[in-house]
Chains A and B, each alone.
Chain A
Amino acid sequence: MLNVGKIEEGFVLDHIKAGKSLQIYHHLGLDKLDCTVAIIKNARSNKLGKKDILKVECDIDTLDLSILAFIDHNITVNVIKDGEIVDKKELTLPKEIKNIIYCKNPRCITSIEQELPHIFVLADPDKEIYRCKYCEEKMSPLN
């Protein structure tokens, strides 16, 4: 069993679907931050069988976690301060996402103008449906 030590301040993202941790690592921009990150893949889980875990040691105001809900709203976000869990965040779908998913409609303006950001807007929170801001092509979250 692999042991990864406790963190003093930051986040523990638990119950990530196995194999998704690197995607989250990139979407949260952790590759650009100068902080300690532990990526644990395929950890044993009673709930999921296998899961990924991300431990991020950083100031708790540094990270925008809104994108996590779009990727997988089953992820548990534990907020750590002074080595203890001080909060468990509930994930809500972001109203707008930028350059996380790309519009696949060949008739969309984004298919010919490469510099345009791919923006999707939450059209139906109940059905978790996003639509391309430009052509209204439908997309569902990644999970």
Chain B
Amino acid sequence: MRHLMSPLDFSVEELEELFILANDIEADMGKYAHACTGKKLATCFYEPSTRTRLSFESAMLNLGGSVIGFSDANSSSAAKGESVSDTIRVISCFADICAMRHPKEGAPMVAASHSSIPVINAGDGGHQHPTQTLTDLLTIRSLKGHIGDFIIGLCGDLKFGRTVHSLINALMRYPGIRFVFISPPELRVPDYITESLKEKDIEYKEVISLDEVMGELDFLYMTRVQRERFFNEEDYVRLKDFYILNKEKMSLAKKDMLVLHPLPRVNEISVEVDDDPRAAYFKQVQYGVYVRMALILTLLEIKLT
């Protein structure tokens, strides 16, 4: 039995298999409509996340399975003081697979070590959000045909943004990728990531101005400055509007550059960009469902005959 805690839990080859399956699902969803009949997904969400939870639920329902769960720690036994390890032992009796989001880092790993069903980390604090990374990788692969040999700019909160950290770590395993980190000095990418890039001899640069590098990029990954990652409200207010992607900035970009965003967006991408064919962030949401369907099938070891 396998769990998914980090995108690095899967080798590049295993990810390739997962993406091939996801693209097959995309091509013929009907073929998989009953693949999980009789199976139940438990969505254990200890903090609110409508988007990720609904994506998981949609994925399981598309596969013909059903869904149980909770979407807030206050409506679960955690409010009574139950430990994560006890909760997962109980959930293991009710469901076949579990997607867990928790504000505390490492909680899904604790769950996985006590679980008799596969556990998927659906986000643990500022630590990991592997299914977002799988979504990002599938989007890149599907829209460009392959993963590798491109320049990706990551913009916004690169310090607390777990989706960014996971994506960088995952992309490091592919050839020919160059990184451009665009952030205010206070939200720079952590040292351990730049050290790791140096060790692997991967080219990167850090800049403050988005305009300056816009024309170089093949992908621009925008992120939101998240209020919940700050202990200090003043810092949040000061930094939240540092970058806003608008038509003017888009006019500096390559014709085939693609804009990605893990969503939800607040105001860091102006709505006027939505109609630009290079805006890929809503397609990304759709790929999120396909990759979660592929993941559920893979972890449940279900193969269509």
Classify the secondary structure of A's interface with B. loop
Question: Nearest-CB distance from B2 to chain A (Å)?
Answer: 18
The answer to whether A109 touches B192 (Cβ under 8 A) is no
B102 within 8 A of partner (CB): yes
A86 within 8 A of partner (CB): no
Question: Nearest-CB distance from B115 to chain A (Å)?
Answer: 15
Q: Give the distance in Å from the alpha carbon of A72 to the alpha carbon of B271 in the complex.
A: 57
Q: Which A residues are in CB contact (< 8 Å) with B106?
A: 108-110, 132-135
The answer to whether B126 touches A134 (Cβ under 8 A) is no
B273 within 8 A of partner (CB): no
The answer to whether A135 touches B125 (Cβ under 8 A) is yes
Give the size category of B's interface with A.
10 to 19
The answer to whether A109 touches B126 (Cβ under 8 A) is no
**B104-134: contact bitstring with A at CB < 8 Å (1 yes, 0 no)?**
1111011000000000000011110000000
Chain B minimum-CB-distance residue to A131: B192
B83 within 8 A of partner (CB): yes
Question: Nearest-CB distance from B111 to chain A (Å)?
Answer: 9
Q: Which of A105, A116, A138 contacts B110 (CB 8 A)?
A: A116
A26 within 8 A of partner (CB): no
Q: Which A residues are in CB contact (< 8 Å) with B105?
A: 105, 107-109, 134-136
Question: Nearest-CB distance from B146 to chain A (Å)?
Answer: 30
Q: Which of A107, A115, A116, A132 contacts B125 (CB 8 A)?
A: A107
Q: Which of A109, A115, A116 contacts B102 (CB 8 A)?
A: A109
A113 within 8 A of partner (CB): yes
Question: Nearest-CB distance from B91 to chain A (Å)?
Answer: 16
Within 8 A of B (CB), among A65-117: 105, 107-113, 115-116
A residues in contact (CB < 8 Å) with B: 105, 107-113, 115-116, 132-136, 138
Can you identify 16 A-B contacts, CB atoms within 8 angstroms?
A: A107-B104, A108-B105, A109-B102, A109-B104, A109-B105, A109-B109, A109-B110, A112-B104, A113-B84, A113-B110, A116-B110, A132-B106, A133-B106, A134-B109, A135-B105, A135-B125
